[in-house]
Amino acid sequence: MTKDYIGKVVEIKGKNDVFSGKVDGCVLPNENKGLVVLKLKSGYNVAIKQENIDSIKVIGTAEKTQQKSKSNLEYKSNAGLPKVGIITLGGTIASRVDYKTGGVSSQFTAEDLINAIPEIRDLANIECTSLMSKFSENINKEDWITIVKKLDFLSNGKYDGFIITQGTDTIHYVASALSFMLEKLGVPVIIVGSQRSSDRPSSDAAYNLLGALTFIKESKKAGVFVAMHHTTDDKVIAIHLGTKVRKLHTSRRDAFKSINVSPVALVHLDLRQHNICKNEIVFNPLYYDLKDLNKEKLKVSTKLGSGVSLLKFYPSFDTSLFEYVLKTSKIVIIEGTGFGHLSDSLLEIVRKYKNKTIVFMTSQCIFGRVNMDVYTQGRIEKEAGIISLEDMLSETAYVKALYVLGKTSKPEEIKKLMLENMKGEISDRTLFTE
Amino acid sequence: MTKDYIGKVVEIKGKNDVFSGKVDGCVLPNENKGLVVLKLKSGYNVAIKQENIDSIKVIGTAEKTQQKSKSNLEYKSNAGLPKVGIITLGGTIASRVDYKTGGVSSQFTAEDLINAIPEIRDLANIECTSLMSKFSENINKEDWITIVKKLDFLSNGKYDGFIITQGTDTIHYVASALSFMLEKLGVPVIIVGSQRSSDRPSSDAAYNLLGALTFIKESKKAGVFVAMHHTTDDKVIAIHLGTKVRKLHTSRRDAFKSINVSPVALVHLDLRQHNICKNEIVFNPLYYDLKDLNKEKLKVSTKLGSGVSLLKFYPSFDTSLFEYVLKTSKIVIIEGTGFGHLSDSLLEIVRKYKNKTIVFMTSQCIFGRVNMDVYTQGRIEKEAGIISLEDMLSETAYVKALYVLGKTSKPEEIKKLMLENMKGEISDRTLFTE
């Protein structure tokens, strides 16, 4: 029924207590037959159950997106602007979106995306590369190596920064991987995603890109970052450190949060005047040691180890499963409860494999810091050989363990490297505890 | 060195840039030799590294806690007040604390705790039972059964509510377990913990207890709840629904958060006038269907199944480990990325064990809701037999699966029961999506 309405601006009338009154907007494509999805004037999407709808009346047609994109070649480069390489991997962001009207077209090229956002031309000269087209849940460590090799290949001093676009689901894993694997890096590399699915288009892709580009143009900082919405509106984009960020909501635009630290910077977007961006960056003063842009030659590591498992402990955890994991892994990252605790039954197994498998502790609380000194159980765990990873995120710890195993197989070196704060993955212990 | 200072009020002078100036407070017992832990007048604890200390001067002795507790029998019961059974399981809360001075005594009885808080006598007539003394990471499903049996034994209509105290680490697991296992329940059962360790005492145990007792006295509601600090100060205690709460910080007092919903109620503590509690409860209107206190006879389930595994998916997840888990489990709860996604490599294994193992999907984002209709991958997952648990927490899902396996082994019934919203574990899909 709704198929015929796609792209039309309609007024929908509710028929019951759940949805009474009227609402109008542009009907978007949507896979769930029981729902009608509207793009409102506010830019938000709204889903209404068919069963609550009294009537749908067409009141207009959505503004069309530009039918034919100009080729990138038609744009003259602006000598005063940074040159930014955009590498696309697939994901939600890889669908063409007119971010002002909410119209959508099915075919995507990176250039289409750029051409849909005129403000970009004020911020950077862009070159696009489509490296792969994968759902982010299928992007694995071999793909991380491919990305690093591509960056290494492109890094001939020609670029002032890179943007990598991929599906949001595993952005924090790839951001950690690049943080470690791009060992020396003189420019910013920013991962950007979009929380709106291709069949429920809206603007966050464009705004996240503009935030990332503004950061590259204005900040003069080097490192691996993630640029995503800071709030649910489109006004502020957060720039997160690649090793300290996590997806904390399935669907919100501001799903990505820096954990135990604040974002590196907030980019306040100001797009009021067409084609003139007046974006502003507010830096977090705590990141005083952020690396400046420099001419350092990129140094990469393209070797990742294997045999790392990440597990969450829970009551009555099956001991034979735990033993299987310890038997078959070189490194186990275990998300303990609270300050980093495991049951006695699992500790016994850790002790048994003490000389074979290295066990690192993170916390399933996500926020806060592992501390195995507070309770007796923590001290027993230390005696069993378990090593606290302080406030390192479990996901970052998993990725770092793969990276470290690419460097060494010696237990003492592994332990030393895991605890070395390489890329801000461990935040400073404060003088005062709560 | 600091051992001699324990219980003394001292003034400590710093000797370097990390810690300069002076601070004074009562020295608390503390296991880490490199640290001196002080209780400040504000009620907060502070840890100072030995290496930063210039000098320690004794300036007084901490106010002593009451040396001998009155036996509970010495108190006359107040006929106008509810009768509350407190069942202690161990944990941080199980250390005697004078919550006003911060003095600490090593020996704990539940009665000591009660006697240390005069306000309690205004709120309820208390009877204490010490059921076990375990670290919460060692409390397992057999213990949950023990607790339920004890509640069943005590539930002769004599009690107007129960409070269970245990270590905070696994409070959300036990709260879920009791939510399902106490199938029919006419009174409130509230789990209370304390985020301060026994060697770093402070007040949250007492305040959380007062919050729980106020809720029992004033709310006239039945169900399983968790009472913990809503904010880091001691003014507001949140009452969370047992199936929707999670520990989200290793150390903060307000570590427990309701996920995807608001707390059931907030208890605003007002203890300004000694011995007269003027606490106020603010209910969340969204919980309009909360059960009223009633005379319904307690109905319990004391059978829990086995063979449930909870796993988090991550990039390059080892396929043989995943196959081992599917081969050895009856039910697997998998925390997918984003809306609930797995890599193709794992999906292949899910398909292989489709007729043997039931796979339920939650999201590692924690906040938000699994939705396998948005992306192609989700739809492929549904075809592979994976079932979305909507916005059920992974921990709640794990516990519920054990409960459901205690009821039935028939796949269709298992699926039906897991998706039945028994105790508010799935929150309503809202009319409007973002």
The CATH number assigned to the domain holding B38 equals 2.30.30.520
Searching chain B, which residue's CA lies closest to the CA of residue A328? Answer: B321
Expressed as residue numbers, the domain containing A214 is 72-300
Mean pLDDT of A231-249: 93
Q: Which of B328, B376, B432 sits opposite A47 (nearest CB)?
A: B432
Q: How many CA atoms lie within 13 A of B422 on its CB side?
A: 25
Res. B1: pLDDT tops 70: no
CATH number (domain holding residue B359): 3.40.50.40
Residue A189 lies in a domain: yes
Q: Quick one: what percent of chain A has pLDDT higher than 90?
A: 54
Three-state secondary structure of B307-349:
CEEEEECCCCCCHHHHHHHHHHCCEEEEEEECCCECCHHHHHH
Residue B168 annotated among the catalytic residues of the structure: yes
ipTM of the complex in this document? 0.81
Q: Where is pLDDT greater, at A62 or B385?
A: B385
Residue B429 lies in a domain: no
Residue A169 annotated among the catalytic residues of the structure: yes
Q: Which of B173, B197, B342 sits opposite A375 (nearest CB)?
A: B197
Mean pLDDT of B189-199: 75
Mean pLDDT of A351-356: 96
- Two tokens at B39? 């209780």
Question: How many Å apart are CA B154 and CA A207, to the nearest integer?
Answer: 59
Q: Do the Cβ atoms of A19 and A48 come closer than 8 Å?
A: yes
Q: According to DSSP H, which parts of B234-303 are helical?
A: none
The active-site residue out of A24, A152, A169, A199 is A169
Neighbour count for residue A223 (Cβ, 10 Å):
26
H/E segment holding residue A395: helix A394-405
CATH number (domain holding residue B158): 3.40.50.1170
Searching chain B, which residue's CA lies closest to the CA of residue A35? Answer: B431
The active-site residue out of B39, B221, B244, B247 is B247
Q: Are residues A153 and A119 in the same domain?
A: yes
Count chain A–chain B contacts defined by CB atoms under 8 A.
222
In this structure, of A142-151, B3-12, B229-238, B294-303, the range with the lowest mean pLDDT score is: B3-12
Question: How many Å apart are CA B18 and CA A134, to the nearest integer?
Answer: 49
Is the entire prediction scored with pTM above 0.90? no
Neighbour count for residue B377 (Cβ, 10 Å):
25
Average pLDDT, chain A: 85
Chain A residues inside the 8 Å CB shell of B132:
none
> Sorting pLDDT into bands at 50, 70 and 90, what band is B157?
confident
In this structure, of A32-36, A226-230, B63-67, B77-81, the range with the lowest mean pLDDT score is: B63-67
CB contact under 8 A, B136 and A433: no
Closest-CA distance, A47 to chain B, in angstroms, reads: 5
> Sorting pLDDT into bands at 50, 70 and 90, what band is A423?
very high
Chain B residues inside the 8 Å CB shell of A204:
none
Q: Are residues A123 and A166 in the same domain?
A: yes
Question: How many Å apart are CA B291 and CA B305, to the nearest integer?
Answer: 28
> Sorting pLDDT into bands at 50, 70 and 90, what band is B105?
very low
H/E segment holding residue B127: strand B125-130
Q: Are residues B282 and B365 in the same domain?
A: no
Mean pLDDT of A130-136: 86
- Two tokens at B73? 């029998």
Q: Do the Cβ atoms of A233 and A197 come closer than 8 Å?
A: no
Average pLDDT, chain B: 84
Searching chain B, which residue's CA lies closest to the CA of residue A312? Answer: B311
Q: Where is pLDDT greater, at A383 or B243?
A: B243
CB contact under 8 A, B168 and A338: yes
> Sorting pLDDT into bands at 50, 70 and 90, what band is B259?
very high
pLDDT digits (tens, 9 = 90+) for A370-388: 988 776 777 788 889 999 9
Q: Are residues B348 and B288 in the same domain?
A: no
In angstroms, how far is CA B91 from the centroid of its own chain? 11
Nearest to B389 by CA among B352, B419, B417, B345: B419
CB contact under 8 A, A141 and B313: no
Res. A9: pLDDT tops 70: yes
Q: Do the Cβ atoms of A127 and A154 come closer than 8 Å?
A: no
In angstroms, how far is CA A210 from the centroid of its own chain? 16
Q: Are residues B316 and B367 in the same domain?
A: yes
Q: Are residues A112 and A253 in the same domain?
A: yes
Of B240, B266, B300, the domain-final residue:
B300
Q: Are residues B40 and B178 in the same domain?
A: no
Q: What confidence score (pLDDT) does residue A68 get?
A: 44
> Sorting pLDDT into bands at 50, 70 and 90, what band is A47?
confident
SS3 content of chain B, % helix, strand, coil (to 5): 25, 25, 45
DSSP string, B360-405: EEEETT-BS---TTSSHHHHHHHHTT-EE-TT--HHHHHHHHHHHH
Neighbour count for residue B207 (Cβ, 10 Å):
27
Q: Are residues B12 and B46 in the same domain?
A: yes
- Two tokens at A127? 């070159």
Residue A430 lies in a domain: no
Chain A residues inside the 8 Å CB shell of B374:
31, 197, 199-200
Q: What confidence score (pLDDT) does residue A429 get?
A: 63
Three-state DSSP state, B90: coil
- Two tokens at A415? 């332990």
Res. A106: pLDDT tops 60: no
Nearest to B30 by CA among B248, B153, B159, B198: B198
Neighbour count for residue A422 (Cβ, 10 Å):
16
Q: Where is pLDDT greater, at B200 or A188?
A: A188
In this structure, of A406-410, B110-114, B322-326, the range with the lowest mean pLDDT score is: B110-114
Res. B70: pLDDT tops 80: no
Q: What confidence score (pLDDT) does residue A77 get?
A: 77
Res. B255: pLDDT tops 80: yes
Three-state DSSP state, A221: strand
Q: What confidence score (pLDDT) does residue B99 get?
A: 37
- Two tokens at B405? 């396996």
CB contact under 8 A, B31 and A340: no
Q: Is B380 exposed, middle or buried (0-12, 13-18, 19+ CB in 10 A)?
A: middle
Number of independent structural domains in chain A: 3
Question: How many Å apart are CA A44 and CA A38, to the nearest integer?
Answer: 8
Q: Tokens 């949140």: give the residue.
A: B238
Q: Which of B137, B174, B363 sits opposite A342 (nearest CB)?
A: B137
CB contact under 8 A, B247 and A365: yes
Res. B67: pLDDT tops 70: no
Q: Do the Cβ atoms of A360 and A390 come closer than 8 Å?
A: no
Q: Are residues B284 and B214 in the same domain?
A: yes
Q: Is A330 exposed, middle or buried (0-12, 13-18, 19+ CB in 10 A)?
A: middle
In this structure, of A42-51, A234-243, A306-315, B392-401, the range with the lowest mean pLDDT score is: A42-51
Q: What confidence score (pLDDT) does residue B2 get?
A: 60
Closest-CA distance, B124 to chain A, in angstroms, reads: 31
pLDDT digits (tens, 9 = 90+) for A262-289: 999 999 988 655 455 678 899 988 787 7
Closest-CA distance, A377 to chain B, in angstroms, reads: 8
> Sorting pLDDT into bands at 50, 70 and 90, what band is B400?
very high
Question: How many Å apart are CA B422 and CA A357, to the nearest integer?
Answer: 41
Closest-CA distance, A349 to chain B, in angstroms, reads: 15
Q: Is A40 exposed, middle or buried (0-12, 13-18, 19+ CB in 10 A)?
A: middle
CB contact under 8 A, B32 and A341: no
Candidates A48, A145, A310, A314, partner chain B, best to mutate (most B CBs within 10 A): A314
Q: Where is pLDDT greater, at B63 or A21?
A: A21
Mean pLDDT of B273-300: 81
Chain A residues inside the 8 Å CB shell of B173:
314-315
Q: Are residues A362 and A379 in the same domain?
A: yes
Q: What confidence score (pLDDT) does residue B14 get?
A: 85
As a residue count, chain B comes to: 434
Candidates B23, B89, B169, partner chain A, best to mutate (most A CBs within 10 A): B169
Q: What confidence score (pLDDT) does residue A306 get?
A: 97
Residue A194 lies in a domain: yes
Chain A residues inside the 8 Å CB shell of B31:
373-374, 379
Q: Which of A135, A248, A369 sits opposite B366 (nearest CB)?
A: A248
Chain B residues inside the 8 Å CB shell of A324:
321, 324
Residue A109 annotated among the catalytic residues of the structure: no
Exposure string for B399-420, b = 16+ CB within 10 A, e = fewer: bbbbbbbbeeeeeeebbebbee
pLDDT digits (tens, 9 = 90+) for B110-128: 666 677 677 788 889 999 8
Residue A425 lies in a domain: no
Candidates A260, A365, A390, partner chain B, best to mutate (most B CBs within 10 A): A365
Contacting residues for B204 by C-beta, under 8 A, at least 6 apart: B194, B195, B196, B228, B229, B234, B253
Q: What confidence score (pLDDT) does residue B273 get?
A: 53
Residue B43 lies in a domain: yes
Nearest to A97 by CA among A191, A4, A200: A200
Res. B428: pLDDT tops 90: no
Chain B residues inside the 8 Å CB shell of A346:
none
Mean pLDDT of A354-379: 90
Q: Are residues A279 and A141 in the same domain?
A: yes
Residue A424 lies in a domain: no
Of A300, A326, A355, the domain-final residue:
A300
Q: How many CA atoms lie within 13 A of B63 on its CB side?
A: 9
Res. B137: pLDDT tops 70: yes
Chain A residues inside the 8 Å CB shell of B257:
none
CB contact under 8 A, A250 and B377: no
> Sorting pLDDT into bands at 50, 70 and 90, what band is A65?
very low
Q: Do the Cβ atoms of A340 and A363 come closer than 8 Å?
A: yes
Res. B350: pLDDT tops 50: yes
Question: How many Å apart are CA B261 and CA A16, to the nearest integer?
Answer: 25
Q: Are residues A173 and A278 in the same domain?
A: yes
Mean pLDDT of A34-47: 69
Mean pLDDT of A102-124: 63
Residue A66 lies in a domain: no
Phi and psi at residue B33, to the nearest 5° = -65, -25
Res. B265: pLDDT tops 90: yes
Nearest to A131 by CA among A188, A88, A183, A83: A88
Q: What confidence score (pLDDT) does residue B207 get?
A: 86
Of A234, A265, A300, the domain-final residue:
A300
Res. B234: pLDDT tops 60: yes
Q: Do the Cβ atoms of B26 and B37 come closer than 8 Å?
A: no
As a residue count, chain A comes to: 434
Residue B337 annotated among the catalytic residues of the structure: no
Question: How many Å apart are CA A318 and CA B306, to the nearest integer?
Answer: 9
Q: Which of A18, A140, A313 sits opposite B343 (nearest CB)?
A: A140
Q: Is B321 left (phi over 0), alpha (psi -120 to 50) or beta?
A: alpha
Chain A residues inside the 8 Å CB shell of B331:
none
pLDDT digits (tens, 9 = 90+) for A151-185: 999 988 889 999 999 889 999 999 999 999 999 99
Res. B195: pLDDT tops 80: no
Phi and psi at residue A55, to the nearest 5° = -155, 155
Q: Is A205 left (phi over 0), alpha (psi -120 to 50) or beta?
A: alpha
Q: Where is pLDDT greater, at A116 or B324?
A: B324
